[in-house]
Amino acid sequence: MSMSVICRWATRPAKWLDRVRLNPDGAVTIVTGASSGIGRCLCEMLSDRGATVVAVARRRERLEELRQRATVGKIIPVAGDITDGGVRESIIDVAANVRGGAVDLLVNNAGVGAIGPFADASPARLREVMEVNFFAPAELTRIAIKHLARSPAAVIANISSVLGHRAVPNKSEYCASKFAMHGWSDSLRAELAPRGIQVTLVSPSTTDSEFFDALVHTGADQTSSSIGSWTPDRVARAAMAAILARRSEVILSLGGKALVYADRIAPPIMNAILKQK
């Protein structure tokens, strides 16, 4: 990039810097992976603050329980698998019909995990993890952008992982999906800034949720060690704070930060440590 281009970019009016922050009261929001864990907590927090939440998950009965709980805002359940293009279109249609086509917040939270040596895994494991954790949220975001652009304070919040910053053994498919989300989020943030849409990347470490009860293509003997476990409520509160502050990125938990920053400072040492695992 030439110096003249950099100078023009630096001196042009940066209208997106003056964007107002999201006010949950009356906001139209979408949360995937809403039936449990972080997603459920975010739905409750948003609806408690007066938002209309399009809550997306595969378990219809869980969504109905969530809908009945709402007392201030409104929860609209959409039961389905986000890897289905038709379901993604339905999600956006439902949200767009709430307030004249505008969507204020999209939270890409749905995800799956897998544990075990890559060499021993089936091709189906890699494809399923990438489809749920990256391709589906990316495609959902693509069709949501024109509606987010109608909001004066739009935010896309991608719930990722510290393993999207530093990969570890026996979680190669999951790490790959989260690295993809990290890179995509960084690129998308720059693309959408002139349209006033903020992209926030939230990177928790281990969360005490049902996530590890539903690992895909993973043997019962495979386990995962913790690097600073948080409750879903705590992660959701940190994510909400980052969304409202229009943060670009947050890394949660001391253990998660230690992993990421140690790798940035001394990657050879981290590589040596992880080889011993």
The per-residue pLDDT for range 88-134, each reduced to its tens digit, is: 999 999 999 999 999 999 999 999 998 999 999 999 999 999 999 99
Please confirm, yes or no, whether 35 is among the known catalytic residues. Answer: no
Distance CA(160)–CA(172), nearest Å, equals 15
More confident residue, 208 or 230: 230
Domain boundaries, the chain: 20-275
Average pLDDT value for the chain: 89
For the residues 164-191, what does the mean pLDDT come to?
A: 96
- pLDDT in the model for residue 214: 63
Q: Is 160 a catalytic residue?
A: yes
CA-to-CA separations, 40 to 59, 80, 94, 107, 198, in angstroms, rounded? 12, 16, 19, 11, 22
**Catalytic residue (choose from 35, 161, 171, 174):** 174
Which residue among 35, 47, 151, 160 is the active-site one? 160
User: CATH says 20-275 is which class?
Assistant: alpha beta
User: Is residue 205's pLDDT more than 80?
Assistant: yes
**Model pTM score:** 0.87
Q: Examine the residue annotation and report whether 174 is marked as an active-site residue of this protein.
A: yes
Q: Which residues of 52-83 are buried (b: 16+ CB within 10 A; e: fewer)?
A: bbbbbbeeeebbeebbeebeebebbbbbbebb
Helix (H) or strand (E) holding 57: strand 52-57
What letter would DSSP give residue 208? Answer: S
Instruction: Using only the alpha carbons of the chain, give its radius of gyration.
Output: 19
pLDDT of residue 256: 81
150 near 104, Cβ under 8 Å? no
Reported confidence tier of residue 262, pLDDT bands at 50, 70, 90: confident
Contacts of 228 (CB under 8 A, 6+ apart): 205, 206, 253, 254, 255, 256, 258
Return d(Cα 242, Cα 51) in angstroms, integer: 17
Residue 141 in this model has a pLDDT that exceeds 80:
yes
Give bridge partners of residue 219 from the DSSP assignment. Answer: none
pLDDT score of 248 more than 60: yes
The pLDDT tens digits for 39-52 are: 999 999 999 999 99
Which residues, at least 6 apart from 250, have a Cβ–Cβ distance to it below 8 Å?
A: 200, 201, 202, 203, 238, 239, 242
* pLDDT level of residue 11 (50, 70, 90 thresholds): very low
State the catalytic residue, choosing from 178, 205, 209, 253.
178
